[in-house]
Amino acid sequence: MESVWRRPAWAQGDVLAYGGDYCPEQWPEAVWAEDFRLMEEAGVNLVTVGVFAWARLQPAPGRWDFGWLDRVLDGLAEHRIAVCLATATASPPPWLTAAHPEIQLVRADGVRLSHGSRQGWCPSSAAYKDAALELAEQVAGRYAGHPALALWHISNELGCHNPVCYCDESAARFRVWLEDRYETVENLNLAWGTDFWSQRLSAWEEVLPPRTTSYFGNPAHLNDYVRFSSDELRGQLQAEAALLRQLAPDVPVTTNFMLPGRWRSLDYGAWAADVDVVANDHYTLSDDPRPHVAVALAADASRGVGGGRPWLLMEHAASAVSWQKANRAKTPGEMRRNSLAHIAHGAEGALFFQWRAAVAGAERYHSAMLPHAGADSDQFRAVAALGADLAKLAPIAGSTVAAPIGLVVDRDSWAASLRPTLPSAFLDYGAALREWYEALWDAHLTCDVIPSTADFNSYKVLVTPHWQLLDAAEAQRLRDFVEQGGHLVATYFTGVADRCDQVVTGGYPGALRDLLGVRVEEFRPLLEGQEVKLSDGTAGRLWTEPVKLAGATAAAFYVSGPSAGFPAVTRAERGAGVAWYVSTQLNPAGLGEFADRVADEAAVPRIDAPADVEITVRRGAEALYTFVINHSAEAVALKFDGVDLLTGDTGPVMAVPAGDVRVVEQALR
Ligand code: GLA
């Protein structure tokens, strides 16, 4: 396996990456020596440098100032700390947007955003792209051969604050994008269904971005604008990547994704092909009652978009963030469990935002590895202890996680689900994804969270929540998967429309009707808070359908609510496999029972573990590494024939105290 970063000359053997965003430009040079010393003390071996340093690196057009960055990189190298070097293109400096105001993003209501925050550039701006590539070329040209350089970091969270722009330059680029896709205006009219509300177009020039309108916009228009905008951002990623690969061919290229949330608009399944290493940023939410489930979901998505490749956790928080309502501090041990959970799910290291807590700027109250209190702090001691843990886990570098279940995310369907004009405004793609994931997590089932374009062949089970926009070829892929022995779980609002968001007629769920063996004549969504009972004792919310059987058999019926008496969950045997249809949002107990049943039928290997004890297995060339993360409040004892890399404990029975972690190495003979 190739390492996810170019290992520096001083490195001996593989190690996991440990470190964070390092912003020396925010500090007097006198502080740097302390940074380097404390980084070494904490076991830091990789830092991300220069993400927001454009204004420092290029103080004026044609003027470059790399002296300070030379000294930073040299200093880091002396301390044997490798660098993930940013192209620094994320935030243009004030002089650039002053000279080219058209770089600044325009909102749907026509307001052009002012300079003063970050990442406010229009993804279609030529002036931005020219300047950014000039900067990236300067950075790459200067540092390609630097001994500390281990990884290129393109931009930062592409599309985080600028996922779409509605300016005239974007409009012109959108027309070209559409012409590429549809060739003629007539094809576009057909695809967008423009005979509805007199929207018929007669020339490309009439196409506009979906700006603020009097009433609902055209869903197909809105869908294409999301696709176009994602492609524009991807164009920036590809342009910078091409330049870096030309100037430094042996240094891997990455950018930080925001999985899973931003998958709602950014086509990460496609973007993953543009990077050598998938990297992800993940932050837990203060009001999430089970943040560790969110961590696992993000990690399984990071592995899933990359097709199972080892990946890197580029950012997470050492404790609180500074952008939520109440920024909850992590509890003792939570940071360690979060970092190790990402690694348990396949990350080749854990990096934080950020190394040293800032004193100025909008993020001055964001946590850091080195907090405002300084090195004499519980936070820094925990950071150093985690660094020591990661050093002990070096043997796992390069090992991978294999999952028998694919939880499918369709970017287009997620984006489309966020719009008005659906049968229910309470449809919630992100929540459904999380609920299905949580059921699998609770059942100790390992899954990859994969794009709908992924190869399905390696999975025994596929779960497709809300795959609303699905074309005939995709329906055929699912049929092939089932007929060859796969178990498909399709949920309500799957397969109802094609990729142009035009409803498939003849009964829902359209393209999947035959495969699922059901036919539905109308949707019967529920009101907020309404619950319906099912014949198996579970319950549903949000949605119901009067399902008619057309080849499937009923596994559970509605016993209350608008679809009482009709099947709620169905099962159809097709070829060597099974196609399930779940026509309501099952409550957690229902999802749990259902997950168990499908896993048993599909003969998915199960891990026997107590509730809230997370277990994942990484497979290396010579050993299996079983991560046991005890999120519960009780100590557990598990049977293991191996040695814990963290404590040296050996089996056959291993105690895992509440909140603690074990990584058991078992040799493969
Ligand atoms: C994002 C950014 C970082 C920082 C953190 C704060 O992930 O990439 O620069 O703003 O959020 O949580």
Distance between CA 547 and CA 499 in Å, rounded?
A: 24
Identify which of 363, 364, 365 to mutate to test ligand 1's pocket (most ligand atoms within 8 A of the CB): 363
β-strand pairing of 149-153 with 253-254: parallel
- Average pLDDT (18-25) is 98
Q: Of all protein residues, whose CA lies closest to atom 5 belonging to ligand 1?
A: 353
Give which of 616, 620, 625 is closest to 644, Cα–Cα: 625
Residues 279-305 pLDDT 10s: 999 999 999 999 999 999 999 999 999
Distance between CA 619 and CA 346 in Å, rounded?
A: 10
CA of 155 to the centre of ligand 1 (A): 12
Is residue 1 very low, low, confident or very high in pLDDT (cuts 50, 70, 90)?
Answer: very low
pLDDT at 418: 95
CB 661 within 8 A of CB 629: yes
Q: Is 40 annotated as catalytic?
A: no
Ligand 1 neighbours by CB, cut-off 6 Å: 156-157, 281, 283, 315, 321, 353, 363, 366
pLDDT at 2: 64
CB 156 within 8 A of CB 204: no
- Cis, peptide link before residue 652, omega less than 30° from 0: yes
Hey, what domains does the chain have and what are their CATH numbers?
Answer: 17-167+220-396 (3.20.20.80), 168-208 (no CATH), 405-601 (3.40.50.880), 613-667 (2.60.40.1180)
Q: Which residue do the tokens 């035959």 mark?
A: 514
Residues 576-630 pLDDT 10s: 999 999 999 999 999 999 999 999 999 998 888 999 999 999 999 999 999 999 9
Residues 485-540 pLDDT 10s: 999 999 999 999 999 999 999 999 999 999 999 999 999 999 999 999 999 999 99
Distance between CA 69 and CA 88 in Å, rounded?
A: 12
Q: Of all protein residues, whose CA lies closest to atom 4 belonging to ligand 1?
A: 353
- Does the model's pTM come out above 0.85? yes
The minimum-distance atom of ligand 1 relative to the CA of 323 is 12
The active-site residue, picked from 169, 232, 315, 545, is: 315
Is residue 3 very low, low, confident or very high in pLDDT (cuts 50, 70, 90)?
Answer: confident
Residues contacting 255, CB < 8 A, separation 6+: 153, 154, 155, 156, 158, 237, 271, 275, 279
- Asked whether the predicted pLDDT for residue 110 surpasses 60, the reply is yes
- Average pLDDT (165-193) is 98
Two tokens, residue 39? 């980084």
Distance between CA 609 and CA 394 in Å, rounded?
A: 26
Q: Is 25 annotated as catalytic?
A: no
Give which of 560, 496, 554, 488 is closest to 523, Cα–Cα: 496
